[in-house]
Structure 1
Amino acid sequence: MGQKIEIAVPDKSGKMNAYLAAPSGQAKAGIVVIQEILGVNPGIRAMTDSWAAKGYMAAAPDLFWRLKPNVELDADVPAQFQQGLDYMNKFDGDKSIDDIKATIAALRTRGCKKVGVIGYCLGGRLAFLCATRTDSDATAAYYGTGLDGLLGEKSKIRKPLLLHIAKQDKFVPAEAQAKVHAALKGNPLVTIHDYDADHAFARHTGSSRVPALADQADARTAAFFAKHLA
């Protein structure tokens, strides 16, 4: 269903690859799918395809491209997971937001009047920043890491934001989750759902996936985008 495209980035340092999946007819809207630390791997491509199957034009940018293009890793292979952590620690998060802005713009130039963003893990963190730093029309973040350190930007949230939080997240302690809840409580633009699961419970495949909770979260996200990207 999908194809690889190139997107020129704002700092003019080169062109970034992205996986683009288009619906069979006219797109309802656009959705940017932000990778985990594992790159634009088969799971992220499948998620991108699933949004196209729902009628959206979806794109997953290769955010590690400045370090190594076309990274594809498997979280269930320890050495590959460690490599993903290494990429995460080395990549430039601020530049990645600019890369996501370029991806949003690329979808708009392809006829998408509204564009949403969805991200997982590292992508969940970046999705939160998209809600404060980009013109995303609606943003969904799954078990974003380090959100408690980004709450200084909460006043910049201008469009709807959906957060899926894993209560047993081994990368996000309960204290950090409580800070996120307390800081965003009462903001009518923010919806938070908690799940009795560990990190990556909604990953497309692999040992971390919890099918029932993944399906529940994905159904909520689908309803969220259907409402706010219409």
Structure 2
Amino acid sequence: MTQITIPAPDGGSFHGYLALPATLPAPGLVLIQYICGVNQVMRRLADHFAALGYAVLVPDLYWRQAPDVQLIPDPARPAPEDIQRALALNAGINDDLAVADLIAAAEVLRALPGCNGHVGALGYCLGGRLVVPMAARGRLDAAVSYYGVNLDSYIPEAEAGTTPLLVHVAGQDDLVPAPVRDALRDRLGARRDATVVIHPGVNHAFALPSGPNYDPATAIRANSQSIAFLARHLPAGR
């Protein structure tokens, strides 16, 4: 495990898990956690994207509440107390501070010797929400959102953004009402450089390995779309 320290824009600092590819320098990817922190699932995902050729940084978004917390290492066997803690930490997130932290993490990643100066971001659930305002406010080459919750509050900001954006939406997401899914498709999908994919018949967290809503076929399809999108906007060797 490689852990680096990231200065927060308003003081203090927090950690991030860093995974580097075999060939450097490489494009950078800020990988944004879901509600369980920088846990084993997120670290494995970081290692996976590093194997695809990205310098990957997973920032700890819970550092203001509980630094370096890691919950539910195996989604197939979640402890009830971990679920409750994850929900409480998620509820305690201040979006504006978290987005500022993510932008700071992206700039730290951009400045690393192993990064070629180009940086994108990809987030799941909590991260799937935060990556959208991050893309509107920060300096990214590309951004990918998986089943972000409460994204409706960021639609106007995202409509005015210019960062290439890919948004994955679960067609039967219990946490995202149908009118919000429709608004994401109609309003963000109208942007020339934004793509909204509504995946039919699947629920929230369909791409979370071993999770209760994991759908392998849809996860493979969505992940293939994400990899192609990143390869187009954030290619290695630039």
The interval holding the TM-score normalised by the smaller chain is over 0.9
- Runs (5+) with no aligned partner, structure 1: none
* Contact 2:159–2:187 (8 Å) recurs in 1: no
* Contact 1:27–1:55 (8 Å) recurs in 2: no
Give 2:107's match in structure 1, choosing from 105, 108, 114.
105
* TM-score normalised by length of structure 2: 0.92
Structure 1 ranges of 4+ moved more than 2 A: 75-79, 204-208
* Contact 1:43–1:205 (8 Å) recurs in 2: no
Distance 1:129 1:38, change over 3 A: same
The alignment yields a C-alpha RMSD, in angstroms, of 1.3
- Matched with 1:164 is 168
SS in 1 for 2:198: strand
The percentage of counterpart residues that share the same residue type is 37
- Matched with 1:40 is 38
Residue 91 of structure 1, CA deviation: 2.0
Inter-partner Cα distance in structure 2 for 1:208 and 1:155:
30
SS in 1 for 2:26: coil
* Contact 2:135–2:142 (8 Å) recurs in 1: yes
- Runs (5+) with no aligned partner, structure 2: none
SS in 2 for 1:113: strand
Give 1:188's match in structure 2, choosing from 174, 189, 192.
192
Residue 78 of structure 1, CA deviation: 3.0
SS in 2 for 1:128: helix
* TM-score normalised by length of structure 1: 0.95
- Matched with 2:88 is 86
Distance 1:197 1:155, change over 3 A: closer
Distance 1:221 1:27, change over 3 A: farther
Inter-partner Cα distance in structure 2 for 1:185 and 1:7:
34
* Contact 1:164–1:217 (8 Å) recurs in 2: yes
Inter-partner Cα distance in structure 2 for 1:8 and 1:163:
29
SS in 1 for 2:117: coil
SS in 2 for 1:217: helix
* Contact 1:32–1:58 (8 Å) recurs in 2: yes
Inter-partner Cα distance in structure 1 for 2:123 and 2:93:
16
Give aligned pairs, total: 228
The 5-angstrom pairing of residues 1-230 of structure 1 reads: 2-12=1-11, 14-74=12-72, 76-110=78-112, 111-195=115-199, 196-230=201-235
Inter-partner Cα distance in structure 2 for 1:190 and 1:176:
16
* Contact 1:46–1:204 (8 Å) recurs in 2: no
Inter-partner Cα distance in structure 1 for 2:150 and 2:194:
17
Inter-partner Cα distance in structure 1 for 2:52 and 2:119:
14
Farther-moved stretch of structure 1 (27-36 vs 70-79)? 70-79
- Equivalent position amino acid for 1:211 in 2: P
Inter-partner Cα distance in structure 2 for 1:27 and 1:223:
20
* Contact 1:131–1:139 (8 Å) recurs in 2: yes
SS in 1 for 2:224: helix
Inter-partner Cα distance in structure 2 for 1:104 and 1:141:
16
Inter-partner Cα distance in structure 1 for 2:212 and 2:151:
25
The C-alpha deviation readout for 1:151-186, integer Å capped at 9, x for no partner, is 121343111000000011111111211121222232
Inter-partner Cα distance in structure 2 for 1:107 and 1:11:
18
